[in-house]
Amino acid sequence: MKSFLVDYHCHIDLYPDYSTVFNDCENEKIHTLAVTTTPKAWPKNIELAAKMKFVHVALGLHPQLVHERAEEIQLWEAYLPQARYIGEVGLDAGPRFYKNIDLQKTVFKRILQACAEAGDKILSVHSARAASVVLDMIEKHLPNDRGRVVLHWFTGNGGEIRRAIDLGCFFSINMSMLINTKSRDLYISLPMDRILTETDGPFVKHEGHPAHPRDSLAVIELLSQVNKAAPESIASAIWSNVCRIEGTT
Ligand code: MN
């Protein structure tokens, strides 16, 4: 089976030259999940990706924006029937956002319940400083047979990682997570059948520029070094995970 480079969490619409990045993904055959931060961005993103095979737009409501955009949950729900991919959604309990955590939980619960009811959605989930609560909510509101969860930039501890695995979650890994050698040990111990690559561009920088979806290759190269496996075999394992998540195998 031919495999493709994967960027399962990228904010393409937030690059200054976003239409070039959309076209790059399509032309370079990079299987990209174009996450959004507000449902207001949905129509434009869908239009940009309309004829594309490699770019998939995700319907999002970012937890860091919930304090000023909570009412957009209604717009998010209105677009939900059009969307197979959901994100960026989740919780952020970091110092800047902790005070709104109850409102974030209300919104995230509605999102999980709506996804469970609809079925067959694929979610890219943010869980900064909130790994345990996010897992509690997934366990309670989105049973494994009602949707697929990809934990984006997951920074839980070993116990939380094991719990996420038991809940059927996948992990999308970016270069920033692997640069710190202490956390790197934790992430490279993740089972290969649960790993995806991501850039989280343009927020994450790669070699001094905003990471581009094609920079997912650097994650593959690093995984290949630490696992002492050929880059091709890492790439094909990741591609087969995508096929399993999306139900195309
Ligand atoms: Mn993000």
Q: Residue 175 C-alpha to ligand 1 middle, in angstroms?
A: 13
Q: Residue 124 C-alpha to ligand 1 middle, in angstroms?
A: 9
Q: Are 150 and 115 in contact (CB under 8 A)?
A: no
Q: How far apart are CA 187 and CA 16, in angstroms?
A: 31
Q: Residue 89 C-alpha to ligand 1 middle, in angstroms?
A: 9
119-155 confidence digits (pLDDT tens):
999 999 999 999 999 999 999 999 999 999 999 999 9
Q: Residue 111 C-alpha to ligand 1 middle, in angstroms?
A: 17
Q: Residue 10 C-alpha to ligand 1 middle, in angstroms?
A: 7
pLDDT of amino acid 1: 74
pLDDT of amino acid 249: 65
177-192 confidence digits (pLDDT tens):
988 877 888 888 899 9
pTM, two decimal places = 0.97
85-115 confidence digits (pLDDT tens):
999 999 999 999 999 999 999 999 999 999 9
Residue 234: closest CA among 187, 206, 199, 193:
193
Q: Residue 159 C-alpha to ligand 1 middle, in angstroms?
A: 24
38-95 confidence digits (pLDDT tens):
999 999 999 999 999 999 999 999 999 999 999 999 999 999 999 999 999 999 999 9
pLDDT of amino acid 82: 98
Q: Report the range of poorest mean pLDDT among 11-20, 110-119, 178-187, 220-229.
A: 178-187
Q: Residue 177 C-alpha to ligand 1 middle, in angstroms?
A: 13
Q: Report the range of poorest mean pLDDT among 44-53, 101-110, 158-167, 222-231.
A: 222-231
Q: Residue 97 C-alpha to ligand 1 middle, in angstroms?
A: 15
Kindly list the distances between the CA atom of residue 232 and the CA atoms of 196, 208, 214, 223, 249, in Å, as whole numbers in the listed order. 14, 26, 15, 11, 19
Q: Residue 29 C-alpha to ligand 1 middle, in angstroms?
A: 21
